[in-house]
Amino acid sequence: MTEMLIKNGFVFDPLNGINGEKMDIAIKNGKIVESVNEHKAKIIDATGLTVMPGGVDIHTHIAGAEVNTGRMIRPEDHIKDVVRKTALTRSGTGYSVPSTFVTGYRYSKMGYTTVMNPSMAPLGAKHTHEELNDIPLLDKATFPLIGDWWFVLEYLQKGDLEGCARHVAWMMETTKGYAIKIVNPGGLESWGFGRNVHTIDDVVPNFGITPREIICGLAKVNKMLNLPHSIHLHTNNLGIPGNYVSTLETMKALESVATDGRPVGHITHLQFSSFAGDSWGNMKSAAEEISKYINNHNHMTFDMGQVIFTDTTTMTADGPFEFTLYQLSGHKWVNSDVETETSGGIIPMHYKRKSAVNAIQWSIGLELALLIKDPWKMFMTTDHPNAGPFFKYPKIIAWLTSRKARVATLKKCHKKAQKKSLLPSIKRELSLYELAIVTRAGQAKALGLKNKGHLGVGADADVAIYNINPETLDIAKKYKTARRAVGNAAYTIKDGKVVVKDGEVVQQVDGKTMWLDVETSEEMKVDEEMKRKFRQYWTVEYENYPVFDHYVKVSDAITVKASV
């Protein structure tokens, strides 16, 4: 039974320009095809339903050392959200840092089929992949943290871009990664001795290089390697009032790297990098300044990092920032620096409506998403679980598509936030077509995933079908109904198999791990000198460092031909 026909649904496929057309989608052997034999195929009657490509999440912390430490230290978070074993599914726990099986099931129930784990310390790459293997129903990939890697800092300081590019290529393959991730560049190495950087031109102690040089250097390396995604960047000064200035400087710095119209950088969870003011007392939104710049420049993409009012857990590679959060909140705090590579921190965080700062943060994410005119530039995320757990996405969808929903929430926020918020003056409501862009098509395009985020012939047969009839349901008015619909897919189809029906898992599939096999013209030399340096820098042998093939359960190696 390898043929399927989804009949008569309202299809939204922005990458192919399809906007709510009533049409059939044909699937064969896990791929979208032109047509199938109606008499042999499994028929799914999508009459009155919305059909979209499966959801794609460009940034969600779901696997690896940091996520797992987050799980380990929050038993009080798990106890309130338990998941029973069924004949078909494994048991587990939530809430803000769900166990691996639960992660897969919950994403799939919302119609998601592809997720990107955005932070992987290369030394712990095996751990990340082991966890990814245990996340069912989804295709996944992960981004190694390279921005503060000693080898990278040394190459860039010397100005040896080609050497750096070859090294990064080797590293991408060795850790089975998908994109270059940079977090608070220069700040993490500084944090090794408890320090940080504050502007993009601060010099990193002991390495003689600036964040600006790291960002631009790696952006150039990214281009030289022809990687499918641009550099994925968590800016310096994240979460500090007044940081929009360095965010603008970062974007300006990358202007010169963009030469062929393709984006050269992606700034993630932009909300955290868009604060104006100079203290927590007068902190406010810089969404206007930031979105103005973005509306006039086309060399970057972004995702929201939208706040949800709930008790969640922050976890990032930004060690110094997490320590700042500890100093503000006094909550339990984890710090996890990784030799030669990166740092990290974890702290629980409760976003409250009655906290002026949290409410302003909530407003910023939405302001950015609505003021940035082109939906192909700005995608929906919560930087799970930093600004909120991913299974609260339906709430964000309601806020994006319904002014009524925004007003209802804003009303309950701290008065100060209500006064400062730009939302009352914003009338825009995303259409279903635009929603499909910010939750799948745009994300897939920015990631360079050719077979995801669309329903054209040749695409992977990952489809989400929702109980929304665009002709009879006004999602802006009836946002609660719409919210329920996107939270419980009528059908989620993965590789041409129905895995979720009416919000319940009905079949188990494994999903594959995508990674880049980067081919440079000259391979990086792994000679004795290299091995010796390796042994000096790390406490593991070079031989034991790579993620061997058997670590990836279902492997999808994507060959990339570098220009170096």
Partner 1 sequence: MIILTPLKKFQFPIQAENINPDVFQGKSVKEIASLPVWEGNKQKKLDGLFKIEETPAETPNITIKGDASEVRRVGQGMKTGEIVINGNAGMHLGEKMTGGKITVNGNASGWTGSSMKKGLIEIHGDASDYLASPYRGSTEGMRGGKIIVDGNVGSDSGCYLRGGIIIIKGNSGPFLGFHISKGAIYVEKNAGPRLGANMTGGKIVVSGVVEDLMPTFTVDSVKGKVKIDDTLKVEGPFYVFLGDLAETGNGKLYVSKSNNSHLSRYEKFL
Partner 2 sequence: MSVINAVTCPICGCLCDDIEVTVVNNEVVKIKNGCAVCEAKYLGYNSEHRIRKPLMRKDGKLVPVSMDEAIHKAGEILANANYPILYGWSSTNCEAQRVGVELAEEVGGVLDNTAVVCHGPSLLGTQEVGIPTSTLGQIRHRADVIIYWGCDPWSAHPRHLERYTSFTEGRFEDSEWKSYVNKVKAAAGMKKLLSAQRREEPKKVHDTAAESVDFNKPPETLQKEGRKLIVVDVRKSMSAEMADYFIQIQPNKDYELMQAMRALVRDEELDVDQVAGVPVKYLREVVDLLVNCNFGVIFFGMGLTHSAGKFRNIEVAISLTRDLNMRTKFLIMPMRGHFNVSGANIVFAWQSGYPFGVDFSLGYPRYNPGETTSMDVLLRGESDAALVIASDPGATFPKRAVQNLVKHPLIVIDPHMNATAMLGDVVFPSAFVGIEVEGTAYRMDNVPLPLKKVVEPPEGVLSDEEILKKILREVRLIKSQKTKQKTEAA
Element (H, E) at 403: helix 403-410
Find the shortest distance in angstroms from Cβ 62 to partner 1.
Answer: 21
Find the shortest distance in angstroms from Cβ 76 to partner 1.
Answer: 4
Determine contact, residues 255/238, Cβ cutoff 8 Å: no
Q: Sign (positive/negative) of CA torsion 126, 96, 376, 316?
A: negative
Q: Which amino acid is at 273?
A: S
Note the maximum CA span of the chain: 70
Secondary structure of residue 462 in the 3-state scheme: coil
Partner from partner 2, partner 1, none binding residue 525, C-beta < 5-8 Å depending on class: none
> What is the CA 529 to chain-centroid distance, rounded?
37
Partner from partner 1, partner 2, none binding residue 339, C-beta < 5-8 Å depending on class: partner 2
Find the shortest distance in angstroms from Cβ 163 to partner 1.
Answer: 46
502/493 Cα distance (integer angstroms): 12
Partner from partner 1, partner 2, none binding residue 82, C-beta < 5-8 Å depending on class: partner 2
Q: What is the dihedral of CA 268, 271, 275, 280, to 10 degrees?
A: -120
Determine contact, residues 321/300, Cβ cutoff 8 Å: no
Find the shortest distance in angstroms from Cβ 313 to partner 1.
Answer: 11
Which residues would be at the binding site for partner 1 (CB under 8 A)? Answer: 73-77, 79, 332
Partner from partner 2, partner 1, none binding residue 131, C-beta < 5-8 Å depending on class: partner 2
Which residues would be at the binding site for partner 2 (CB under 8 A)? Answer: 63, 65, 67-69, 71-75, 78-79, 82-85, 90-93, 97-101, 123-124, 126-127, 130-131, 134, 192-194, 206, 323, 326-327, 331-340, 343, 346-347, 535-544, 548, 551
Q: Sign (positive/negative) of CA torsion 368, 374, 380, 381?
A: negative
User: Which of 2/335 has CB closer to partner 1?
Assistant: 335
User: Which of 74/126 has CB closer to partner 1?
Assistant: 74
Partner from partner 2, partner 1, none binding residue 326, C-beta < 5-8 Å depending on class: partner 2
User: Which of 74/454 has CB closer to partner 2?
Assistant: 74
User: Which of 107/551 has CB closer to partner 2?
Assistant: 551
Partner from partner 1, partner 2, none binding residue 340, C-beta < 5-8 Å depending on class: partner 2
Partner from partner 1, partner 2, none binding residue 143, C-beta < 5-8 Å depending on class: none
β-pairing, 345-350 vs 311-316, is antiparallel
**Among candidate residues 476, 477, 480, 497, the one with its CA nearest the CA of residue 488:** 480
Find the shortest distance in angstroms from Cβ 207 to partner 2.
Answer: 11
Find the shortest distance in angstroms from Cβ 310 to partner 1.
Answer: 16
User: Which of 313/443 has CB closer to partner 1?
Assistant: 313
User: Which of 24/311 has CB closer to partner 2?
Assistant: 311
Residue with tokens 């990214």: 222
Q: Sign (positive/negative) of CA torsion 500, 501, 502, 505?
A: negative
232/42 Cα distance (integer angstroms): 40
User: Which of 102/461 has CB closer to partner 2?
Assistant: 102
